[in-house]
């Protein structure tokens, strides 16, 4: 059982706080809770109080969970929140700005695997000894919010002891579906075996828990699972959203490894296999129908032998808006040629890409006298590391 | 006493000024640091050790780094360099053993990297002479991934290793020289895709080849290129050492071009480039037919000129 201290937050209110009547924008007002008690906001029991700011005072609420953390999400700026109780109980959540239209109170309940699985049995074939985390959001009206408007990034930490007998690479986050009364796997997670973290995105909040399969079962599932990567071959898949119909390109250490067209809904999924163990600089970018390429989003990953990593919930940035010429009279528009595309900085061979070809050209002139002006990107009369850096910053692959 | 007052004030002001100066100088300076490190602080003469050059970007995203690793050549002998699995993707100046006492390097990582210990490369040294050997960095530079090539505030940290004299041979048997073995690497370099390009730079609108392979275990050692005329067995054409960019000999692009990437353990990956306009099969059939015909004619004439045996 754990009792919590109240958090009082000074939030602008449009209603009259202190008149004893709960109004819009108030979680409570004196004794008026609109029927909400501790269980209604995620606790197991206790007595809910009302702070002078007309926000809940949860100091007398109790929870069966081992530990509870709380914080306030400010809608306008978002933020990253990490809850650490002991070394083996750590969870983080990163909320983007405007993840919800108003500020929210965030409560995190942590519970041992044994207690959690008593009420919520693990799916057949899956094992876990990791803690369960229940993320609970409460809005300013005192109502629990289960779904956000923008996706949050969650990180659940695990210890080696918690995953004994489990293939670490098979670890996946699962969330408890009250409607189905069952655990549901969360897609798009990434297992960071070096730091013992699992990252994933979510916009619906309930109890989350890490589970995995024993080594043999994991191998079998990978071999026979539809679309899964062969377990003996390390690989990485990337999934997310881009502009509908845009071309999504995956770079591996600066070179094009794969590309795909995003679907009509903008969803893309692509990957690369046959990776040797080691560290990689993966990059993703999208190119729109006009041939303009957006910024490169980097994913530095360390690949273990046979690892199958998945990076999900990626949102690629669109290319910067290009200036469009003013509309022309119909008669003139036929005669005037289309406006030339602006030059791509670092593109030394004029193919509107910045890649190994351009680097090779620049590297050829690196340190040589009398380099051509076209290769000298910063105009100092020579090709130095600065020119190579400019080129690398505009890299498209 | 009166005279001392201004002196005291001056002294106080100086102390305060010093304190202020000290407090400012004590502020954490968020400068990236390029450093040399090793897992051992002392070795015996004749033994080997690894020196690692790494970069702490201090939260900045860096996409280019260069410098020169310096070492006392009378005390240390570089035996091997390993740049596999490094944070640099493309080298303009690949670190290599050549100039005595110095190993220059310069390279980039497209998109940049941010790390408190980004490994650039490592050098295997053999200690030659006892004493204290300082391995340092000169001309070190790290540039931000800001599109302008802005230099990051950078400090460098050298490493000093103590080389102990060899144990007297009378007391202990002389240790066998430490063998320098490449890391166990049975994996060939990763698949790569050479590209043929024609451009004004750097070869005056002529066709050239660019390529780069990756090997995460032992690292790429070298490249070789072979241009085999279309229709001819490739084995008849020699492999030649090459670096990217490589000016193609056959500017008609009718040759089959292959690039061989060889890692430091000797594993090989060969990638080929599709020729732009190979000779049509019937052209080669015609050439072979003509060759056979010419041979037959010559052979017949030759045979007819041979003196016939008299019966």
Classify domain B32-164 at the CATH topology level. Immunoglobulin-like (2.60.40)
- Residue B303 φ then ψ, to 5°: -65, -40
Q: Nearest-CA neighbor of A205 among A147, A290, A122?
A: A147
Residue A232 contacts B, CB cutoff 8 Å: no
**Burial degree of A158 (CB within 10 A; 0-12, 13-18, 19+):** buried
The domain segmentation of chain B, as residue ranges, is: 32-164, 195-282
B128-145 average pLDDT score: 96
Distance of CA B216 to the CA centre of its chain: 13
Minimal Cα–Cα distance from A377 to chain B, Å?
9
- Contact between A4 and A10 under an 8 Å Cβ cutoff? The reply is no
CA–CA distance, A383 with B145 (Å, rounded to integer):
17
**Burial degree of B37 (CB within 10 A; 0-12, 13-18, 19+):** middle
- Contact between A122 and A137 under an 8 Å Cβ cutoff? The reply is no
**Contacting residues for B183 by C-beta, under 8 A, at least 6 apart:** B82, B217, B218, B265
Residue ranges with strand state E in A193-317? 197-204, 207-211, 234-241, 247-252, 255-261, 267-275, 278-287, 297-303, 308-315
Distance of CA A198 to the CA centre of its chain: 11
Chain A residues within an 8 Å CB radius of B242: none
**Burial degree of B310 (CB within 10 A; 0-12, 13-18, 19+):** exposed
CA–CA distance, A273 with A141 (Å, rounded to integer):
49
- Contact between A189 and A198 under an 8 Å Cβ cutoff? The reply is yes
Pairing of strands A67-73, A104-111: antiparallel
Q: DSSP label at B6?
A: H
Residue B205 contacts A, CB cutoff 8 Å: no
A118 three-state secondary structure: helix
Residue A295 contacts B, CB cutoff 8 Å: no
Minimal Cα–Cα distance from B146 to chain A, Å?
6
Instruction: Look at residue B120 and tell me whether its pLDDT is greater than 90.
Output: yes
Chain B residues within an 8 Å CB radius of A281: 87, 89, 109-111, 113
Q: Which of B113, B210, B216 sits opposite A356 (nearest CB)?
A: B210
Nearest CA in chain A to B63: A389
Chain A residues within an 8 Å CB radius of B214: 252-253
Give the pair of three-digit tokens for residue B158: 């050298």
A393: left (phi over 0), alpha (psi -120 to 50) or beta: alpha
Omega within 30 of 0 (cis) for the link into B245: yes
CA–CA distance, A313 with A27 (Å, rounded to integer):
33
Distance of CA B206 to the CA centre of its chain: 26
Q: Can you tell me the ipTM of this complex?
A: 0.77
Q: Do A361 and B112 touch (CB under 8 A)?
A: no
Residues in chain B: 311
Nearest CA in chain A to B114: A300
Instruction: Report helix, strand and coil shares of chain A as percent, to nearest 5.
Output: 15, 40, 50
Per-residue confidence at B302, pLDDT binned at 50, 70, 90?
A: low
Between these two residues, B55 and B277, which has the higher pLDDT value?
B55
Q: Give the number of A-B residue pairs with CB atoms closer than 8 Å.
A: 149
B141-166 average pLDDT score: 95
Would you state the pLDDT for residue A395?
94
Give the pair of three-digit tokens for residue B248: 């193609």
Q: Do A279 and B216 touch (CB under 8 A)?
A: yes
Minimal Cα–Cα distance from B76 to chain A, Å?
28
A204 three-state secondary structure: strand
CA–CA distance, A281 with A303 (Å, rounded to integer):
11
Would you state the pLDDT for residue B148?
94
Chain B residues within an 8 Å CB radius of A298: 111-113
CA–CA distance, A267 with A131 (Å, rounded to integer):
32
Would you state the pLDDT for residue B284?
64
Chain A residues within an 8 Å CB radius of B66: 385
User: At B4, which helix (H) or strand (E)?
Assistant: helix B4-25
Single pTM value for the model = 0.58
**Burial degree of B13 (CB within 10 A; 0-12, 13-18, 19+):** exposed
Chain A residues within an 8 Å CB radius of B64: 385-386, 388-389, 392
Residues in chain A: 397
Report chain B's C-alpha Rg in angstroms.
31
Please identify among residues 131-150 of chain B the ones whose CB lies closer than 8 Å to any CB of chain A. Answer: 141, 143-149
Minimal Cα–Cα distance from A326 to chain B, Å?
29
Q: Do B210 and A275 touch (CB under 8 A)?
A: no
Would you state the pLDDT for residue B27?
44
Minimal Cα–Cα distance from B145 to chain A, Å?
5
Would you state the pLDDT for residue A315?
92
- Tokens 């100092």 sit at which residue? A380
Please identify among residues 226-255 of chain B the ones whose CB lies closer than 8 Å to any CB of chain A. Answer: 244-245
Please identify among residues 250-309 of chain B the ones whose CB lies closer than 8 Å to any CB of chain A. Answer: none
CA atoms within 13 A on the CB side of A205: 26
Q: What is the mean pLDDT of each successive set of 10 residues along chain A, which is 397 residues long?
A: 35 65 81 81 77 80 65 82 73 86 84 77 76 84 81 87 79 82 78 82 86 57 29 75 90 87 85 84 90 89 85 85 54 52 86 91 91 91 95 92
Nearest CA in chain A to B91: A363
Instruction: Look at residue B3 and tell me whether its pLDDT is greater than 70.
Output: no
- Tokens 């070179």 sit at which residue? A255
Report chain A's C-alpha Rg in angstroms.
26
- Contact between A210 and A172 under an 8 Å Cβ cutoff? The reply is yes
Minimal Cα–Cα distance from B257 to chain A, Å?
17
Q: Do A255 and B112 touch (CB under 8 A)?
A: no
For chain B, give the percent of residues with pLDDT over 70. Answer: 77
């Amino acid at each position: 059982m754990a009792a919590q201290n109240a958090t009082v937050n000074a939030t602008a209110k449009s209603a009259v706080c202190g008149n004893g009547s709960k109004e819009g924008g108030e979680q409570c007002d004196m004794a008026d809770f609109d029927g909400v008690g501790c269980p209604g906001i995620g606790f197991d029991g206790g007595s809910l109080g009302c702070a002078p700011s007309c926000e809940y005072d949860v100091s007398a609420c109790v929870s069966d969970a081992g530990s509870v953390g709380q914080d306030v999400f400010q809608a306008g700026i978002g933020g990253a929140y990490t809850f650490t109780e002991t070394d083996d109980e750590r969870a983080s959540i990163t909320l983007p700005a405007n993840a919800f239209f108003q500020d929210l109170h965030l409560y995190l309940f942590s519970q041992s695997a044994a207690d959690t699985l008593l009420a919520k049995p693990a799916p057949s074939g899956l094992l876990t000894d990791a803690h369960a985390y229940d993320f609970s959001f409460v809005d300013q009206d005192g109502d629990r919010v289960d779904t956000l408007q923008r996706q949050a990034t969650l990180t659940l930490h695990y210890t080696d002891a918690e995953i004994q007998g489990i293939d670490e690479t098979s670890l996946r986050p699962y969330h408890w579906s009250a409607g189905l009364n069952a655990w549901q796997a969360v897609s798009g997670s990434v297992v960071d075996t070096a730091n013992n973290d699992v990252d994933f995105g979510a916009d619906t909040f309930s109890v989350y828990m890490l589970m995995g399969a024993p080594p043999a079962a994991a191998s079998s599932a990978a071999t026979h699972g539809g679309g899964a990567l062969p377990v003996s071959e390390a690989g990485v898949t990337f999934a997310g959203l881009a502009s509908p119909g845009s071309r999504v390109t995956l770079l591996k250490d600066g070179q094009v490894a794969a590309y795909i067209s995003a679907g009509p809904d903008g969803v893309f999924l692509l990957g690369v296999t046959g990776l040797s163990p080691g560290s990689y600089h993966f990059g993703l970018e999208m190119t729109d129908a006009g041939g303009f390429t957006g910024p490169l989003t980097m994913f530095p990953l360390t690949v273990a032998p046979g690892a199958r990593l998945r990076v999900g919930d990626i949102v690629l940035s669109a290319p910067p808006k290009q200036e469009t010429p003013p509309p022309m009279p119909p008669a003139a528009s036929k005669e005037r040629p289309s406006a030339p595309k602006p030059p791509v900085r670092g593109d030394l061979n004029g193919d509107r890409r910045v890649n190994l070809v351009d680097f090779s050209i620049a590297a050829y002139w690196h340190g040589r006298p009398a380099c051509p002006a076209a290769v000298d990107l910063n105009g100092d009369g020579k090709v130095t590391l600065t020119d190579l850096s400019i080129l690398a910053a505009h890299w498209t692959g | 006493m009166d005279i001392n007052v201004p002196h005291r004030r001056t002294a106080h002001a100086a102390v305060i000024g010093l304190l202020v100066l000290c407090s400012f100088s004590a502020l954490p300076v968020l400068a990236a640091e390029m450093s040399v490190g090793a897992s051992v602080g002392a070795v015996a003469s004749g033994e080997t050790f690894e020196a690692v050059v790494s970069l702490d970007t201090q939260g900045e995203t860096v996409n280019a780094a260069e410098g020169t690793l310096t070492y006392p050549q009378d005390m240390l002998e570089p035996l091997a360099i390993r740049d596999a699995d490094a944070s640099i993707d493309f080298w303009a100046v690949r670190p290599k053993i050549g100039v005595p006492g110095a190993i220059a390097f310069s390279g980039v990582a497209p998109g940049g990297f941010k790390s408190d210990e980004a490994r650039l490369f490592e050098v295997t040294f053999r200690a030659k002479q006892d004493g204290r050997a300082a391995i340092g960095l000169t001309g070190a530079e790290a540039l931000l991934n800001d599109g302008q090539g802005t230099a990051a505030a950078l400090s460098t940290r050298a490493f000093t290793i103590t080389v102990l004299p060899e144990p007297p041979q009378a007391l202990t048997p002389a240790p066998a020289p430490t063998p320098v073995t490449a890391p166990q690497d049975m994996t060939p370099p990763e698949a790569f895709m050479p590209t043929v390009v024609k451009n004004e730079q750097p070869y005056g609108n002529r066709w050239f080849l660019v390529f780069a392979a990756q090997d995460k275990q032992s690292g790429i050692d070298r490249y070789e290129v072979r241009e085999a005329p279309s229709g001819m067995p490739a084995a008849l054409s020699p492999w030649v050492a090459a670096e990217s960019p490589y000016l193609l000999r056959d500017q008609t692009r009718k040759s089959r071009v292959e690039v061989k990437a060889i890692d430091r353990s000797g594993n090989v990956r060969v990638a080929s480039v599709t020729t732009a306009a190979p000779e049509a099969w019937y052209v080669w059939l015609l050439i072979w037919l003509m060759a056979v015909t010419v041979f037959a004619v010559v052979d017949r004439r030759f045979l007819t000129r041979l003196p016939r045996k008299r019966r």
